Amino acid sequence: MKEIPDENIYNLIPKEEVKVHKEPRYISQFSESVKIEKQKNKAAHKTMGAVKVEVPSPKEYLQKHSKEATLALKSAVLDSSGRRCLAEEKRRPPVPLRTEQPIMGVQTNKSFITSNVAEAVMAVPKKQQPIYVDNKKGDKHLLETSGLVPKYTKKKDYGSTPEYLVKRNEEVRKAQEEYDAYVKERLKMGAMKQLSEEERQSVLEGLKKNWDELHHEYQRLSVVIDTPPKKAHKERLEAEMRQLERDIDYIERHKIIYIANN
């Protein structure tokens, strides 16, 4: 690397002196209070422990084995000869070995795991009771006893037929009576007659036979219908078949049919 010589023309140009701005030293606002607190508590515990500590009594000194766990004392009882003896504590029976199979309670071959799984699968889910919240803290109350749910069984007219249904049934009954009277009058005048069941069945069979013939003719149409006569013939067959289907449905739904005499 080539060194730059000290003699340089740029050194002849006077340079401006750059002043470094130094921020003021940080001084805590609690420094004086900390010093006072430190001086106040400096000599608070020069003795052993606190100043107002109760001195233990010399009689309560630490004895040997005083900190060890004490065993249960054995009670002294009298034997058959009248002498005192120490009764041993009642101990629980020992834990059975792995090879032993102790009998505990009632034995059963029921598989509780399988039964619990079946009960969980077949159990009906619990239906949550509807509730409402009345404040921002989320206090919950039952909706059933709140008075917000209408109780139709407590209405005065519960169980009675509404007025609009009574009125409608009356209008239907009157219309049926007027129709029956009109039919009887027309029958007496000989203006129309009622089809018997044999005539009704024969008419129904004739309509179905006509539909089968039209359907058979419809099935024999060409696959490609590209001329106006073919399109018109297809549309005519479809219209006639739809009309026959409506007539068949009408006769099948109505058992009593009246026809007018010319």
Q: Please check the confidence at residue 237 and state whether its pLDDT lies above 90.
A: yes
Q: Please check the confidence at residue 243 and state whether its pLDDT lies above 90.
A: yes
Residue 233: the pLDDT is 93
Question: How many CB atoms sit inside 10 A of residue 237's CB?
Answer: 15
Residue 227 resides in a domain: yes
Q: How large a percentage of the chain has pLDDT more than 90? A: 27
Domain count, the chain: 1
Residue 33 resides in a domain: no
Count of all residues that appear for the chain in the document: 262
Residue 55 resides in a domain: no
Exposure b/e, 27-39, CB count within 10 A at least 16 = b: eeeeeeeeeeeee
Residue 229 resides in a domain: yes
Long-range (24+ apart) CB contacts under 8 A made by 94-100 are none
pLDDT category at 173 given cuts 50, 70, 90 is very high
Residue 218 resides in a domain: yes
In contact, 258 and 194? CB cutoff 8 Å: yes
Whole-angstrom distance, CA of residue 174 vs CA of residue 168: 10
Structure confidence by residue, pLDDT tens digits, 103-116: 666 777 888 999 99
pLDDT category at 145 given cuts 50, 70, 90 is confident
In contact, 258 and 193? CB cutoff 8 Å: yes
Residue 118: the pLDDT is 92
Rounded to two decimals, the pTM is: 0.37
Question: Which domain does 242 fall in, by range?
Answer: 194-260
Whole-angstrom distance, CA of residue 163 vs CA of residue 226: 62
pLDDT category at 48 given cuts 50, 70, 90 is low
Q: Please check the confidence at residue 162 and state whether its pLDDT lies above 80.
A: yes
Whole-angstrom distance, CA of residue 258 vs CA of residue 199: 11
Residue 79: the pLDDT is 54
Residue 256 resides in a domain: yes
Q: Please check the confidence at residue 2 and state whether its pLDDT lies above 70.
A: no
